[in-house]
Amino acid sequence: MSPSHILSAYDEDLKYLNRRISEMGGLAEQMCGDAVRALVNSDSALAQKVISDDVILDNAEREIQEKAIVTIARRQPVAGDLREIIGVLRIASDLERVGDLGKNTAKRVIAVQGTGVPRKLARGLEHLSDLALVQLKEVLDVFSNRSVQKAEAIRLRDEEIDAMYTSLFRELLTYMMEDPRNITTCTHLLFCAKNIERIGDHATNIAETIYYIATGAAPEGERPKDDTSNMLGAVAE
């Protein structure tokens, strides 16, 4: 096979991997959005769909892993080309975890169905979800254009989600202390809120991977954090 044909085949492999990442990202984003809608609307059918869709996401990650391994073995990429494939593997892993977080949230729907989600808490969960999903959508767009500046900007915005999560955490604790009958429902909602907050963490991971693909280096400095829920939990105990 001529060098030009080898290069063309390698380009096709990369296009396949990038396309599958985009498909994984779209499904993970939909699953998480649907999970929160199912939670606040007590929609068990939608929750079950989210749980079922997780199998599709898991299969997509396996396909990406297998294709990446074959591509490395056949093409023996180096430098930037190798970073591209390693980066795709990292991002696929993050998106699979995002899907798990959506599935885990959906599993809580039946647990809170009897009491429902108070409207004020539902708004907080929806707001937190909106922040996390915007972060995820934007980082997937950055994956397409490989903008180092935008990847860094998304990484630095993670503290917005942390701050919103901490605020919701405080609110849930208040509900639990005001009326012991709220404890079971609010405990489930605390887990859901943490799942949503972690979606933002995975979006930040993806931003850092994109930075690595484009530059060959990790972003400088620690990512900003504004999650004080651990300290609040210690005080509450």
pLDDT in tens, 109-130: 999 988 889 999 999 999 999 9
H-only helix segments in the chain: 3-41, 44-75, 79-107, 109-113, 119-145, 148-156, 158-178, 183-215, 229-236
Decide: pTM greater than 0.85.
Answer: yes
Residue 123 in tokens: 């708004």
pLDDT in tens, 147-205: 999 999 998 888 899 999 999 999 999 999 999 999 999 999 999 999 999 999 999 99
pLDDT band of 213, cuts 50, 70, 90? very high
pLDDT band of 236, cuts 50, 70, 90? very low
pLDDT band of 229, cuts 50, 70, 90? low
pLDDT in tens, 53-111: 999 999 999 999 999 999 999 888 778 889 999 999 999 999 999 999 999 999 999 99
Cα separation, 140 vs 210, in Å, equals 10
Residue 219 in tokens: 């972003």
Nearest to 143 by CA among 214, 60, 210, 205: 210
